[in-house]
Amino acid sequence: MALAIERIRIVDRDQWMAERQQDVTASVVGALFNCHPYTSALRLFMEKRGVALAETNDNSAMRRGRWLEPAVALAVADERPGWKIVPAREYLRAAKLRFGGTPDFYIEGDTRGLGVLQAKTVGPVTFELEWSDGPPQWIVLQTLAEAMLTDAAFGVVGVLKVAAYDMELALHEVPRQGELEAQILEAVASFWADVDAGRPPEADLRKDAELAKVLAPREVKGKTIDLSGSNALPSLLEEREGLMRDISEAEACKGEIETRMRLLLGDAEQATGVPGWAVSWRTQHRKEHVVPAKDIRTLRIQRRRGERAGEL
């Protein structure tokens, strides 16, 4: 499917981020398929509805990705000398669909035509866990979305496995996939229909824990809700109680191990001779600080005395 594309030159990061805000971008389209590791469909929904959310903090993995993106391009150029790797300094937008993206690089010089290169960097452990069968699905979706927006003949994911004293490149071709691309466009259209109608998607109970607090930051005084129609809730609360016991037991066992280590260390600053482990017990100074007052909703779950699951 040929898309009507607007090409917007990227002037600076602030302008680029502002352009992206009005669209579902290739980098987050995986959230619409519940396979994105860092965001969710509900978070995306709330952002597009104008709800102010805490921004994702910059971290070492994100910085590594920015710093080493040019290194991925250099590595790919070494591996494929027939390719010309060109930075993509433009934002591509399918305005009617409110769908956009910016490839990391274009690939020129291939007989098939223009290609797009998605550059990634990961550590060795992550590579073994998540890349053994090829790129994770959210990255495949990202690459296909960028290929659609650029009308590229093919996509490539270049992942640089970064270890302490070594870097290794793996190249994964992502051919155009008409059926999956149609699903991407359908998912984007469905998402925007829900945004416009105010229909939030189902929450991801792990990723959206903080969003639940944002959705209802204050209670209505005196309001109650009857949950007697939820047949699953009693068993879920029983499961939670069991998990709390397991956590308590695990914390106690962890404490015993740490106490043993303190007794072994005595007044020593650190220990040696433990293969594979660094063990120390040093004094650290913590500056005095005042925690500002704030009001928070507190969830409390307690078993009523004498009642078991199923008793009403």
pLDDT at 66: 80
Work out the number of other CB atoms within 10 angstroms of the CB of residue 117.
Answer: 26
On whether the pTM is more than 0.85, the answer is no
DSSP per-residue string spanning 26-49? GGGGGGGGT--SS--HHHHHHHHT
pLDDT at 308: 57
Which ranges constitute the DSSP H helices of 111-226?
Answer: 124-130, 137-150, 178-197, 209-215
pLDDT at 57: 54
Last residue of one domain, picked from the residues 210, 244, 277:
210
DSSP per-residue string spanning 200-224? PPPP-TTTTHHHHHHH-SSPPTT--
The answer to whether the beta carbons of residues 83 and 107 sit under 8 Å apart is yes
149 and 60 within one domain: yes
Tell me, yes or no, whether 270 lies in a domain. no
pLDDT at 1: 62
141 and 68 within one domain: yes
Give the whole-angstrom CA distance, residue 188 versus residue 181.
11
CATH number of the domain to which 198 belongs: 3.90.320.10
Q: What is the mean pLDDT of each run of 10 residues along the chain (312 residues)?
A: 89 93 96 95 94 68 79 96 96 97 97 97 92 95 98 97 90 96 98 96 90 85 91 92 95 94 92 90 86 80 65 38
Work out the number of other CB atoms within 10 angstroms of the CB of residue 46.
Answer: 19
pLDDT at 59: 66
248 and 115 within one domain: no
Q: Supply the range of the domain harboring residue 233.
A: 225-261
